[in-house]
Amino acid sequence: MNTELRARYRRPARYGDTVRVTCWIEHLASRAVHFAYEVHCGDESLATGRTEHVWIETATNRPCRAPQELQDAFRRLAGVAD
C-alpha cells in the first residue's frame, strides 16, 4: 500500500523527448519500503520524487511484516548485507 507520494517538478519533458528514470530503495524496514526517483533528459534533471509503501495483511487490512523471501529480495536490491 502506498502511504505517501512526493514529487518535485523542475522542468517539463516535451513530446518526443527521451527521458531516463532512475529508481532506488532509499529506506528498507520489515514493514515498509521507501523508493526515491530521478527523471532526467540528457544531463538535465526534470523531476525528483519519493514514495513510501507498507505491507498490508489482506485478511485484516492492517500493516504487517513482509514475507521473509521478499525482505531478502529487497535487501539484495538495496545492496544491504545480511
Per-residue model confidence as pLDDT tens digits over 37-77: 999 999 999 999 999 999 999 999 999 998 889 888 888 88
Top-tier CATH class for 2-78? alpha beta
Other Cβ atoms closer than 10 A to 8: 10
**Predicted local distance difference test score (pLDDT) of residue 19:** 98
**Predicted local distance difference test score (pLDDT) of residue 81:** 61
List the domain boundaries for the chain.
Answer: 2-78
Helix (H) or strand (E) holding 77: helix 68-78
Per-residue model confidence as pLDDT tens digits over 11-40: 999 999 999 999 999 999 889 999 999 999
Q: 82: pLDDT confidence band, cut at 50, 70 and 90?
A: low
| Sign of the four-CA dihedral 20, 11, 23, 42 | positive
